[in-house]
């Protein structure tokens, strides 16, 4: 039987307009609407070089993936992952569609120079599906292209970090053009011993990729301060990690839960 898929909205052009901030006290950590996310660059950062991010954008455009085409590709991948998971009927909400739109804009817009994207949301909002859709889409695009246009990428769930470190894959993966770190903060916390030194794997990845301006997409249900507090083993480490995240990340919130609503149509 053909799977029935409901996508709301279906049109790429259906983006959110700029909205005025609510008349409430603004938190230091602010999430942006799709119309605002690329417009709030600190002036000191706007002209900073981001060579690898710019290279990924150039390759995508050369291949033919501008913002609308990449949006379509990401949405199709997201839909296929959902169909595998939930069966015949599910809904992709307007919020998820707008989130995918921001991701496509981050990849392809010349104005989107920050090298990292931090996606935060509660359990069940679609962060892992989004992370898998991004990694799968970029991987598929790259696999079909000439070597000069390929984008090396990696997807790692937080629960896999220790395993990847133990077998040596993490050392190679953390230097790839694009890295997707999924559900940070969900794994059992542990400090790895390496030649007698304490190693925090997430912080090591962030500092390594920061030094090389390598783009990273992070998903988590923790705020940036909470993430820095979790992975900074010392006060100085927490401050340093928080500074790196604030400086390099666009903050994007996924606020709508769909998993519980769609569980009733899941085919076991």
Task: Supply the angle between the helices 67-86 and 94-108 in degrees, to the nearest 10.
Answer: 140
Comparing CA positions, the residue from 94, 105, 86 lying closest to residue 7 is: 94
Report the pLDDT value the prediction gives residue 45, as an integer from 0 to 100: 44
pLDDT averaged over consecutive 10-residue blocks of the chain (268 residues)?
38 33 40 47 47 90 93 94 81 86 93 89 89 92 78 92 89 92 84 67 90 93 87 80 90 68 34
Report the pLDDT value the prediction gives residue 180, as an integer from 0 to 100: 96
Cα 221 to Cα 241: distance, rounded to the nearest angstrom: 17
DSSP string, 44-87: HHHT---HHHHHHHHHHHHHT--HHHHHHHHHHHHHHHHHHHH-
Beta carbons of 103 and 137 less than 8 angstroms apart:
no
Report the pLDDT value the prediction gives residue 219, as an integer from 0 to 100: 95
Report the pLDDT value the prediction gives residue 192, as an integer from 0 to 100: 67
pTM: 0.77
Task: Supply the angle between the helices 127-143 and 94-108 in degrees, to the nearest 10.
Answer: 40
Report the pLDDT value the prediction gives residue 26, as an integer from 0 to 100: 39
Provide the token pair at 204: 């090591």
Report the pLDDT value the prediction gives residue 144, as an integer from 0 to 100: 74
Cα 253 to Cα 97: distance, rounded to the nearest angstrom: 13
Comparing CA positions, the residue from 191, 68, 198, 180 lying closest to residue 129 is: 180
Cα 165 to Cα 173: distance, rounded to the nearest angstrom: 10
Question: Per the CATH hierarchy, to which homologous superfamily does domain 50-265 belong?
Answer: P-loop containing nucleotide triphosphate hydrolases (3.40.50.300)
DSSP-derived secondary structure letter, 160: G
Instruction: State the first-to-last Cα distance of the chain, in angstroms, to the nearest integer.
Output: 16
Report the pLDDT value the prediction gives residue 197, as an integer from 0 to 100: 64
Report the pLDDT value the prediction gives residue 256, as an integer from 0 to 100: 58
């Amino acid at each position: 039987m053909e799977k029935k898929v409901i996508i709301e909205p279906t049109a790429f052009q259906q983006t959110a307009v700029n909205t005025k901030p609510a008349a409430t006290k603004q938190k230091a950590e602010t999430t942006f609407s799709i119309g605002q996310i690329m417009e709030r660059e600190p002036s000191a950062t706007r002209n900073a070089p981001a060579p690898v991010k710019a290279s990924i954008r150039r390759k995508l455009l050369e291949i033919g993936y501008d913002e609308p085409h990449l949006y379509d590709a990401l949405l199709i991948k997201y839909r296929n992952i959902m169909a595998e998971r939930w069966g015949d009927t599910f809904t992709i909400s307007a919020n998820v569609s707008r989130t995918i739109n921001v991701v496509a804009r981050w990849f392809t817009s010349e104005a989107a120079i920050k090298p990292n994207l931090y996606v935060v949301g509660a359990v069940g909002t679609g962060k892992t599906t989004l992370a898998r859709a991004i990694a799968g889409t970029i991987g598929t695009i790259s696999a079909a292209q000439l070597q000069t246009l390929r984008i090396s990428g990696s997807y790692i769930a937080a629960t896999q970090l220790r395993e990847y470190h133990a077998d040596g894959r993490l050392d190679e993966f953390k230097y790839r053009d694009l890295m997707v770190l999924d559900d940070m903060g969900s794994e059992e916390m542990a400090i790895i011993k390496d030649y007698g030194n304490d190693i925090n794997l997430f912080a090591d990845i962030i500092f390594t990729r920061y030094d090389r301006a390598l783009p990273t997409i992070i998903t988590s249900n923790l705020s940036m301060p909470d993430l820095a507090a979790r992975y900074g083993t010392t006060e100085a480490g927490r401050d340093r990690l928080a500074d790196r995240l604030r400086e390099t990340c666009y903050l994007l919130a996924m606020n709508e839960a769909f998993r519980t609503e769609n569980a009733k149509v899941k085919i076991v």
